[in-house]
Structure 1
Amino acid sequence: MEIEIATIGGYEEVGRQMTAVRAGDDIVVFDMGLNLSQVLVHDNLQTEEMHSLDLIDMGAIPDDRVMSDLEGDVKAIVPTHGHLDHIGAISKLAHRYDAPIVATPFTLELVEEEVHDEGKFVVDNDLVEMEAGETMSIGERCELEFVNVTHSIIDAINPVLHTPEGAVVYGLDKRMDHSPVIGDPIDMKRFREIGREGEGVLCYIEDCTNANKKGRTPSESVARKHLRDVMYSVEDYDGGIVATTFSSHIARVTSLVEFAKDIGREPILLGRSMEKYSGTAERIGAATFPDDLGMYGHRKSVDRAFNRIMEEGKENFLPVVTGHQGEPRAMLTRMGRGETPYDLEDGDKVLFSARVIPEPTNEGQRYQSERLLRMQGARIYDDIHVSGHLRQEGHYEMLDALQPQHVIPAHQDMGGFSGYVDLASGQGYELGRDLHVTANGNVIQLV
């Protein structure tokens, strides 16, 4: 059986992920993502109303025209998890393919919301729910399997396409968390089995976000302990405390809500995406929040919540807001500009339970946001976080578990691939032979 891999997006940057695997006449597409930085540099860009070709030309979504070079039919579109760099282009591209979108429950809910908000295209692909540990047939000779992984969003999986020539493992995005705050640990037992059963692993496509960093990525339980320590340390402060984190990081949001209660403050979730992700997780039973937890996304309801906080006393509340990357229209940035009823004063604490994404647009916006906050007297508590991506020792463990015949680094630029190339070379892989450093728009024939 011929096996080809089209590296469509995410092989020259962090963002707009998309990969297609052709096994004989059957094709499976993994991820259709958005490059957020290409959107954020434009002020008030409404992607919902834009044509896919315009978004392709500006580098915001994958250029999927290379799909015409693959001889076969798309049988499934498989997003690995609900981050926008993996699902943000589904509403623009999925309608081109007569194939179902197959995903875990939380991811599928987020895809459905993206499709619902789309203003340019009608996306009527079937939505198929599949849990980690389950399988489905792809054509007559292949099988798709979901393996549970841990990431900075719940319900993440690594899909595996089992072919007669061996398994193709799509390894985006994960960290090795054996004590997660929400959900099950990473299923390393299953990865080791896949590496040793049948024809083994033909190809492993790996997330290289942190491949240049030594050591091992800590568990989310480590971030939880760090966050608890910081919040308990400011328990006696009688002014304002504000926290921000990734809206999609449900485990972190639940920790913030819990620790706010512990230090005698009422948590309130503020911002459109904060309401969206936490509300969705609660609705499908993936997370449990207190019955009285306020979640507000609409601008007027957010301002009403801020007015209530100011009237009843900032010392009684913990607003958990959007804006950890300094996004211009997010809640924290608006607070820094003085555009909300919430008054920041000398000594007020701002807790960043997130790292800035290492990309020039984000770094510039985050710097600007922090400057605005400090100008109002805020004290910044930074980097209360652990990454959702493997570092070098995690990559070593995955290669050891899977023992793939071929390896393709992804989810970085050429500089970001260097650490992974060094690691894989040390394990006997050779550039151009079985270690394939590629670019967007290429097709690699493995069999």
Structure 2
Amino acid sequence: MEIEIATIGGYEEVGRQMTAVRAGDDIVVFDMGLNLSKVLIHDNIRTEEMRSLDLIDMGAIPDDRVMSELDGEVQAIVPTHGHLDHIGAISKLAHRYDAPIVATPFTRELVDEEVHDESEYVVNNDLISMEAGETMQIGEHCELEFVNVTHSIIDAINPVLHTPEGSIVYGLDKRVDHTPVIGDPIDMKRFREIGREDGGVLCYIEDCTNANKKGRTPSEAVARRQLRDVMRSIEDWDGGIVATTFSSHIARVKSIVEFAQDIGREPVLLGRSMEQYSGTAARLDGLDVGFPDDLGMYGHRKSVDRAFKRIMNEGKEKFLPVVTGHQGEPRAMLTRMGRGETPFELTDGDKVIFSARVIPEPTNEGQRYQSEKLLSMQGARIYDDVHVSGHLRQEGHYQMLDALQPQHVIPAHQDMAGFSGYVELAGNKGYDLGRDLHVTSNGNTIQLVE
């Protein structure tokens, strides 16, 4: 059986992920993501009202025209998790393919919301839920399997396409976490089994975000302990305390909410994406996220401002707002607070906890710098980098290569400089660049079996 891989997006940057695997006449597409930084550099752009070709020209979504070169039919579109760099282009591209979107329950709900907000295209693809550990038939000869992984969002998986020529493991995005705050640990046992099954792993496509960093990525339990320590250290402060983190990071939001209550403050989630992700997680049966029943979540601008007014009227010392804006996004809640555009008044000594790192990209770095400066000018004290990454470092990559023992490896989710650490460590495991280690770029195809 011919096996061909099209590296469509995410092979020259962190963002707009999209990869297609053709096994004979059957094609499976993994991820359809957005490069948010390409959108944020423009003022007041609403992607839901834009056409796909304009977004492709901006470099915001994958250029999927290379799909016309693949001789087969798309059988499934499979987003690995609910981050926008993996699902943000589904509303713009999925309607081109007569194929269902197959995802875990939480990811499926987030995709459904993206599709619902779309105003330019009608996306009628079936939405199918599949749990980690389950499989589905792809054509006559292949099978799709979801393997549970741990990442900075719940319900993440690595999909595996089992073919007669061996398995294709799509390894975006994960860390090896044995003590997650929500959900099950990464299923390393299953990865080891796949690596030793008949045919083994033909190809492993791997997220290289932290491949230049030594050591291993700490567990989310470490970030939880950091947060507890920071919040306990300021529990006697009688002014404002504000926290921000990735809206999609439900486990981190859960920790902030719990520790806010521990220090006698009422947590309130503020911002459109904060309400979207946490509200979706709280509503889904089977996801025991553990939010309090009376947790306030407000996304609409007027309802957010009403919440801020209540906080100011009743006393900042009684509340802990958890807000959007960890990257300094211009329209996010924390940025508006820094500009003095909300009813919440920051005063000298108020604490702002950034439970997130800056995404290493010039737009984000500039916006985050500006946000912190604005907050500091109002007297806020910054607690920075209370965080652990959701991506593997070098020792995690070695662990995955040992488990899977792939015949071929394709680095992804980085630019060429970011691939350098992975090329070196894969070389240490016996892989040769151009032979079985394939560093590629967007829009290319790699023929693994002819």
Per the TM superposition, whether the score is higher than 0.5 is yes
Partner of 1:418: 420
Distance 2:196 2:269 in 1: 46
The aligned amino acid for 1:338 is: G
Distance 2:166 2:151 in 1: 26
Q: How far is 1:123 from its partner?
A: 0.1
Residue 2 in 1 paired to residue 5 in 2? no
Partner of 2:378: 376
Distance 1:293 1:437 in 2: 46
Q: Which runs of 5+ in 1 are unaligned?
A: none
Residue 95 in 1 paired to residue 98 in 2? no
Distance 2:250 2:28 in 1: 29
Distance 1:230 1:203 in 2: 43
Distance 1:211 1:267 in 2: 36
Partner of 1:446: 448
Partner of 2:354: 352
Partner of 2:120: 120
Q: How far is 1:434 from its partner?
A: 0.3
The aligned amino acid for 1:417 is: F
Distance 1:159 1:55 in 2: 27
Distance 1:341 1:44 in 2: 23
Partner of 2:193: 193
Secondary structure of 2:374's match?
Answer: helix
Partner of 2:321: 319
The aligned amino acid for 1:221 is: A
The aligned runs of 1:39-438 (5 Å cut-off) are 39-285=39-285, 286=287, 287-438=289-440
Higher deviation after alignment, 333-342 or 289-298: 289-298
Secondary structure of 2:7's match?
Answer: strand
Residue 24 in 1 paired to residue 63 in 2? no
The aligned amino acid for 2:31 is: D
Secondary structure of 2:85's match?
Answer: helix
Q: How far is 1:444 from its partner?
A: 0.1
Secondary structure of 2:106's match?
Answer: helix
Distance 2:283 2:445 in 1: 41
The aligned amino acid for 1:433 is: R
Q: How far is 1:292 from its partner?
A: 1.4
The aligned amino acid for 1:33 is: G
Distance 1:238 1:109 in 2: 39
Distance 1:139 1:300 in 2: 50
Distance 1:317 1:265 in 2: 5
Distance 2:29 2:60 in 1: 18
Distance 1:304 1:26 in 2: 53
The aligned amino acid for 1:364 is: G
Distance 2:61 2:362 in 1: 18
Secondary structure of 1:446's match?
Answer: strand
Distance 2:72 2:301 in 1: 47
Q: How far is 1:191 from its partner?
A: 0.2
Q: Which runs of 5+ in 2 are unaligned?
A: none
Over residues 127-161 of structure 1, what are the superposed CA-to-partner deviations in whole Å (9 max), with x where a residue is unaligned? 01000000000000000000000000000000000
Q: How far is 1:288 from its partner?
A: 2.4
Secondary structure of 1:161's match?
Answer: strand
- State the superposition RMSD in angstroms: 0.4
The aligned amino acid for 1:235 is: E
Q: How far is 1:272 from its partner?
A: 0.2
Normalised to the residue count of structure 1, the TM-score between the two structures is: 1.00
Over residues 257-308 of structure 1, what are the superposed CA-to-partner deviations in whole Å (9 max), with x where a residue is unaligned? 0000000000000000000000000000322211211100000000000000
Secondary structure of 2:55's match?
Answer: helix
Secondary structure of 1:303's match?
Answer: helix
Distance 1:187 1:46 in 2: 38
